[in-house]
Amino acid sequence: MSSINNKIIGGVFWTTFETVINRSLGFIIQMVLARLLFPTDYGLVGMAIVFISFVEVFNDLGMNAALIQKKQEKLTLLHFDTAFWTGVVWSVLLYLLIFFILTPVAVSFYEEEMLGMIMPVLSISVLLSPINLVHRAQLIKSMNFKKLAIVNNLSSFISGGIALILAFLDFGVWALVFYSVTRVLVAVPLFFKATGWKPRWHWDKNIFKEIFSFGAYTTGTSLANKLTGNIDYLLVGKLVGTAALGFYSFAFMLTNILRDQIVAIVNKVIYPVYASLQDDKKKMSDMFLKVISINNLIVYPVVLGVFLFAENFLPIFFGEKWNASVPIIEILCFAVFIQMLNNSHTTLLRAAGKVKLELLLQIIKSVFLFTPLIILGVYYKELEGAALGFTIATFLGVLLSFYFMYKIFNIRLIDVFKAVKVSLLMILICLPTTLILKQYVFWMFCVLYFGVAVFVIYYIFARYQLMALVKMVKNKK
């Protein structure tokens, strides 16, 4: 396990490095953009993304996951060539679908003519992403997260600079559009340089069937995930309006920005590790519990801080025009707390080859939990109702997932609570005491108290765990 541990540590270090740089830069850029732009700008982009994201899940047909999951000794250059050319041809077809069919549908559905110009440009990322499908798979499978971090950070830096220039020049919503597109455009030559791999003019029908037989299920799962993640955007934009969707998407961005990045780090690093342990479910379950424990130690105090002080920090960093997002932010924080209890379970199922079950679970969640509950929420209480419906559906979805986690990996819910007991203790102590203190003293003193309280709790109950992690990362550096 020592070589695997070293790879995990190296992967976590470089992926965390990438994320810290990306998120720090992203936060600064979003803060400036939020001050320069308006809720309607964010709402327009949110409307476009809802439709594009449903097509985007078909972008690589699950071939990236299939290449990573396949055992090294059975992987050939012909697998890479077949995946590359399939992805390129398929992405052209998807772009034409967006341009000629989905764009007119979106314009008619939302009654926003501006979407007719935004969606074709924003969809360029769909056209370009498959070009680097194989490069990403090669870097992740070899766990070369250092090069991956360099490529992603350079792309974010350049795209962020372009977005800020456009915002300062009063290009409005186009600053957000090109922020997304430029990141993919810049990454294309960087990935070719990072791997040195170039496609040959080869394609094999049998290999395509082999890859697609695995990727079809992961693609279906991604589609169900997109439905789950975007049904609230779809309904809020249609039933409440463009500005309301801007407030809602802004709240979602703030509450999920850290969770998304932590999950991205974990899934990127841990998936090839889970795949290498796919014949030993005990080791996979032990790894899962360790991942959950570390993730929650990092995420819970930050999200709790957002819940406690959003109303204080929001006007300072983003301006008072975003104050309507505060109640939504507070509700969605609880959704994050719940989601973090099983944030890498889909990766675990996929690595174990349970792609059919993964797909079935996501379909059940989308159709029977998220869609009806969010519809009811929007109908009865608009924005806050959508957030509340999303949170309740998240809770029920986690319970459903853990039923199968127990059946397959013998992971009990009590095992998860034991793994995150320090994080839960921190919430039980810091949440009520900080709320009480806010009633009597200036909020900045409450922030200081909150920080000290978290430090003391972690020092008493989790210092050995955190010190061991820091030591391993230092050794890796």
pTM score: 0.69
Of 43, 205, 165, whose CA–CA distance to 112 is shortest?
A: 43
**What would the DSSP string read from start to end of 136-156?**
HHHHHHTT-HHHHHHHHHHHH
pLDDT band at 1 (very low <50, low <70, confident <90, very high): very low
Least confident of 14-28, 54-68, 425-439: 14-28
Q: Which two tokens stand for residue 464?
A: 């050995």
b/e 215-234 (16+ beta carbons within 10 angstroms → b): bbbbbbbbbbbbbbbbbbbb
Q: Which residue has the higher pLDDT, 449 or 21?
A: 449
Contact (CB, 8 A) for 29 and 163: yes
Segment 313-324 mean pLDDT: 84
Task: Kindly list the distances between the CA atom of residue 430 and the CA atoms of 427, 434, 452, in Å, as whole numbers in the listed order.
Answer: 5, 6, 10
CB 218 within 8 A of CB 350: yes
Contacts of 76 (CB under 8 A, 6+ apart): none
Q: What is the mean pLDDT of the chain?
A: 80
Q: Which residue has the tokens 């209890």?
A: 341
pLDDT at position 70 is 67
Rg (CA), the chain: 22
Distance CA 143, CA 17 (A): 15
Is the model more confident about 209 or about 27? 209
Confidence of residue 351 (pLDDT cuts 50, 70, 90): low
Closest among 141, 170, 343, 140 to 260, alpha carbons compared: 343
Q: Residue 22 carries which side chain, given as an amino acid letter? A: N
Q: 15 to each of 19, 110, 156, 264, 267, how far by Cα in Å?
A: 6, 38, 14, 9, 10
pLDDT tens across 365-379, in order? 888 998 899 889 988
Stretch 154-173: mean pLDDT, rounded?
A: 86
Mean pLDDT over 434-459 rounds to 94
Would you say residue 318 has pLDDT above 70? Answer: yes
Are 413 and 402 contacting, i.e. CB atoms less than 8 angstroms apart? Answer: yes
CA dihedral 374, 379, 380, 384 (to 10 degrees): 50
Tokens coding 445: 């003193």
pLDDT at 57 over 80: no
**Residues near 151 by beta carbon (within 8 Å), at least 6 away in sequence:** 187, 190, 191, 194
Position 271 confidence tier, pLDDT thresholds 50, 70, 90: low
63 contacts 87 by C-beta, under 8 angstroms: yes
By the 10 Å C-beta count (0-12 exposed, 13-18 middle, 19+ buried), 463 is classed as exposed
Cβ atoms within 10 Å, residue 254 = 26
Is residue 85 scored above 90 in pLDDT?
Answer: no
Kindly give, in sequence order, each residue whose CB lies less than 8 Å from that of residue 324, ignoring residues fewer than 6 positions away: 247, 383
Q: Which position has the higher pLDDT, 229 or 304?
A: 304
Residues 206-252 have pLDDT tens digits of 887 777 666 566 666 666 666 666 778 877 888 778 888 888 888 88
| Residue with more model confidence, 264 or 111 | 111
Lowest mean pLDDT among 1-15, 261-275, 303-317: 1-15
What's the confidence (pLDDT) of residue 239?
Answer: 78
pLDDT at position 262 over 80: no
Q: Report whether pLDDT(8) > 60.
A: no
C-alpha span between 427 and 413 (Å, rounded)? 19
CA–CA gap between residue 249 and residue 45 (Å, rounded): 10
Count the Cβ atoms, other than its own, within 10 Å of residue 396.
Answer: 15
Whether pLDDT at 52 is above 60:
yes
Of the candidates 415, 416, 409, the one whose C-alpha atom is nearest the C-alpha of residue 357 is 409
Task: Copy the structure tokens of residue 135.
Answer: 């490069």
Of the chain, the percentage scoring pLDDT greater than 90 comes to 22
The Cα 85–Cα 90 span in angstroms is 8
Q: What is the Cα–Cα distance from 386 to 325, expressed in whole angstroms?
A: 13
Least confident of 42-51, 93-102, 342-351, 424-433: 342-351
* SS3 of residue 227 by DSSP: helix
Q: Residue 236: exposed, middle, or buried by beta-carbon count in 10 A (0-12, 13-18, 19+)?
A: buried
Mean pLDDT (whole number) for 326-355: 83
pLDDT at 137: 79
Between CA 248 and CA 228 the distance in angstroms is: 15
| Percentage of the chain modeled with pLDDT above 70 | 77
Instruction: Name every residue whose Cβ is closer than 8 Å to that of residue 311 and which is 6 or more positions away in sequence.
Output: 323, 326
411-439 pLDDT per residue, tens: 888 999 999 999 999 999 999 999 999 99
CA-CA distance, 93 to 101, in Å (whole number)? 12
Higher pLDDT, 170 or 434: 434
Candidates 345, 460, 359; CA nearest to 406 is 345
Tokens 């990322």 belong to residue: 125
Give the span between the Cα atoms of 401 and 354, in whole angstroms.
13
pLDDT higher at 315 or 283? 315
The secondary structure of the chain in percent helix, strand, coil, rounded to multiples of 5, reads 90, 0, 10
Is the separation of the CB atoms in 135 and 192 below 8 Å? yes
Question: Residue 397 pLDDT > 80, yes or no?
Answer: yes
Q: Answer with the residue of higher pLDDT: 28 or 112.
A: 112
Q: What is the pLDDT of residue 476?
A: 44
The answer to whether the CB of 349 falls within 8 A of the CB of 358 is yes
- Report whether pLDDT(294) > 60: yes
Q: Tell me the pLDDT band of 279, cut-offs 50, 70 and 90.
A: low
Whether the predicted pLDDT of 110 surpasses 60: yes
